[in-house]
Amino acid sequence: MNNKGIFITGTDTDIGKTTATLVLGWLLQDRGVNVGIMKPVQCAGNDAEFLKRSLKIDDVIEKINPYFAKEPLSPHLAFQRQKTQINIDKIIDSFEHLKKKYDIVLVEGAGGLLAPLKEDYFIADLVKDLNCELIIIARLGLGTINHTLLTLQQARDRGIPIKGILFNEIKKAKHGIPEKTNPDIIEKIGAVPILGFIPYLKRFDQKEITKACRPLIDVKSLMKNSFKDKAGRLARWDQKYVWHPFTQMKDWLNQEPLVIDEAQGNYLIDTQGNRYLDGISSLWVNLHGHRKREMDQAIKSQIDKMSHSTLLGLSNTPAIELAKRLVDIAPRGLEKVFYSDNGSTAVEVALKIAYQYWQNKGKKKKTKIVHLANSYHGDTLGSVSVGGIDLFHKVYRKLIFKTIAVEFPDFYRAPKGKTYPHYTEECLKCLENLFKESHATIAAFIVEPIVQAAAGMIVWPHGLLKKMRELCTRYDIFLIADEVATGFGRTGKMFACEHEGIAPDFLCLAKGMTGGYLPLAATLTTKRIFDGFLFDYQEQKTFFHGHTYTGNPLACAAALASLDIFEKERILAVLQPKIKFLAEKLKMFYNLRHVGQVRQKGFMVGIE
C-alpha cells in the first residue's frame, strides 16, 4: 500500500476526535493495516499519550506530538503565552518520517479547520501542507447540519480531498428525529460519503469496541488509496495525450512521468504525496514561494472583479497600475509599456518595434539585428532568429531571418590563449568595428545582460555591458535588454542592467514578473521610440501587433501583488545575505574533479 495520511478534524472542539482516531486505528489494525498516529499540536490533556498507548505504537512522543502547550486554549494563544514558535516544517518532517514507516498515518487535528495555529495559519493550512485526505467527525444531534456543511465548505474551498463524515455519539442520548435523519440529509446536501457512526462508548476495550464498530464503519473506504488510483490514471493520460516541451517523447514514454499535483512554499508535491524542492523555481519564475497568501488573495480578489477584458480599444485597471509601477522601477528613460504573454513575445515585440521605428522614420536600410553568439531569447521564429544555441535553432535555419552574431567572451570556452581582460577587449573591438562599418544598416543589438541564462548561466565580465551601451549610443543602434530571465531580483538587483548603471532602449520582461503565477510579459521602451509611431492613421505606421490576452487583468494583478511583496518584505535587501551564504556554500563544489567552473550572479548559479 502507498503511504498516506488521513487527517481527522471535527466540526467543533470536544467532538470526540481522539475517540474517533482510536476507533479508526483499532479497526484498521484489525484489518492488518500498519497504522501510525500523529497529534501535531496539543493544548493540555494527554490525547497523544493515550493514542500511543492504546494503539501500542512505539514512536517517541516528540514525533507523534511535536508541539504541546500546557493551557487548554486555542493553539495560537496557548503557544504564544508559553513563547513557543510553531515551526510547520518541523511538523512536516515528523509526518514524513511517520509516513515512511506506516501504511496509513492518522493525524488528529486540534479544534476545527479554522482553529488558528498562528495568526495567519489555520489547521486547514496544515491539512493542505501535510497533503492529507480529511475525515470530519460530527455530532449526530440538532445543529450538526450547519456545522458539518460549514466545515465541508471550508475544506472544499481550499481544495482538501474529503474521505467522508464520521458521526460520533459523545453523550448517551435518545435517538430522536434529528439523530435519525441528519446523516442522510448531510450526505445529500453535502454530496459527501458518510463513513459511519461510532456509538457512545462506556469503556475503551479494544476487542469490544472493534467488534461493535466493525459493522457500523466503512473501514474499506479508509484503505482505498485514492492517491494511488489518481496517480496511476494521470500518469497514463499524460503519456496518452500530452506532448512535452523540449522533450524527446520517445524517452518520456519509456518512463513513469512525475506528475505534480500541488505545491507549497519551496516544495512541489506529486500525485502520490511526495515532496520535491522546487530548485529551478518552476523554470525561474517562482519568486515568493508557491501558494503565497498575498499572491493568492490578489488573484482571487481580481477574479471577483473581472478576469479578462481586451486591451485592444479598451484599457483596464490592473494593466494601467502595473504599467506605472514598472516604469517607476525600470532604469531611467523607459517610459512606455507594451504587454504580451511570455518571454519570446516580449522579445518579438522589441524586435518588431525596433525594426519598424527605423522604417517609420524613413531609414529603410536600418533592418539588421545583431545578437551575441550563444544567446537565447525564446522559441517563436523571431526570437529563434536572434538565438545562437545551435541545438535549438539549426533545424529552422531556412525559416528564420538572417542576423549578425557577434562573439561573446565566455572565458570557460574561450579559444586557447584568450584570457581576461584582453579577450573582452577583443570582442568589444569586433563589435565596434561592425557598428562603425554597418551602423547604417543595423536596427538593434539584443543581449541578455549580465547573465546568459540558457547558454549555461554564463556571467558577463564586469564593465562589458556599459561599454556596449556606449557603442550603441554612439552609432544610434537600439540596445534591447532581454531581462526575461534576469529580471525581478534574480541577479540580486531588481534588473541586471542596474549592475552597470545603464538603461537600454528596450527592456523585455516576463517569467518572474507575476511571481510565477500567471503568464505575462512586458516590453518597456523610451518616449523617443514611442513617438516614432505617432502618425496619422492613414500613413499606416501604427504598431500592428497584439495578443488576445495582452494586459490580462488577472496576470497584472498578480504582478502588482508581487511588486508589493518586494516592497513590504524588502526582498532585495533580504536577498543580499542569502546571496553571500549561497556563494559560501558553492565553494564546496570548487575542488570536485568533475566540476569545471562555478558561476554565480545573485541567485543565478551555473555549475559546469
- Return residues touching ligand PMP (CB under 6 A): 342-344, 347, 376-378, 448, 453-454, 482, 484-485, 510
> Smaller CB distance to ligand PMP: residue 428 or 481?
481
The alpha carbon of residue 298 and the mean position of all alpha carbons in its chain are separated, in whole angstroms, by: 15
42: helix, strand or coil: strand
Residue 551: CB minimum distance to ligand PMP, A: 17
The answer to whether residues 380 and 344 touch, using CB atoms and an 8 Å cutoff, is: yes
> Smaller CB distance to ligand PMP: residue 59 or 500?
500
The alpha carbon of residue 419 and the mean position of all alpha carbons in its chain are separated, in whole angstroms, by: 40
Task: Identify the residue whose cell numbers are 502520490.
Answer: 272
Single-letter amino acid, residue 477: I
Note the residue count of the chain.
608
The pair phi, psi for residue 275, each rounded to 5°, is -105, 140
438: helix, strand or coil: helix
Residue 396: CB minimum distance to ligand PMP, A: 15
Task: Give 272's contacts (C-beta < 8 A, 6+ positions apart).
Answer: 2, 227, 228, 231
Name the strand (E) or helix (H) holding 241: helix 226-241
| CA dist., res. 347 & res. 382, Å (int) | 8
In this structure, what C-alpha cell is assigned to residue 192?
459527501
Helices (H), 330-380: 343-360
> Smaller CB distance to ligand PMP: residue 79 or 408?
408
> Smaller CB distance to ligand PMP: residue 392 or 401?
392
The pair phi, psi for residue 600, each rounded to 5°, is -145, 135
The alpha carbon of residue 101 and the mean position of all alpha carbons in its chain are separated, in whole angstroms, by: 29
Query: How many secondary structure helices (H) and strands (E) does the chain include?
Result: 23, 24
| CA dist., res. 250 & res. 234, Å (int) | 18
Task: Give 154's contacts (C-beta < 8 A, 6+ positions apart).
Answer: 113, 114, 124
| CA dist., res. 109 & res. 113, Å (int) | 8
The answer to whether residues 525 and 352 touch, using CB atoms and an 8 Å cutoff, is: no
| CA dist., res. 479 & res. 456, Å (int) | 22
> Smaller CB distance to ligand PMP: residue 108 or 482?
482
Instruction: Give bridge partners of residue 508 from the DSSP assignment.
Output: 482, 523
Single-letter amino acid, residue 89: D
Residue 136: CB minimum distance to ligand PMP, A: 42
| CA dist., res. 424 & res. 411, Å (int) | 9
What pairing do the DSSP bridges indicate for beta strands 4-10 and 104-108? parallel
421: helix, strand or coil: coil
> Smaller CB distance to ligand PMP: residue 25 or 487?
487
Smallest Cα–Cα separation from 13: which of 165, 130, 115, 157?
115
Residue 87: CB minimum distance to ligand PMP, A: 35
In the Cβ-directed half-sphere of 50, how many Cα atoms lie within 13 Å?
Answer: 15
Distances (CA, A) of 185 to 23, 146, 176, 197: 25, 11, 15, 15
Smallest Cα–Cα separation from 482: which of 344, 575, 583, 605?
344
Residue 117: CB minimum distance to ligand PMP, A: 38
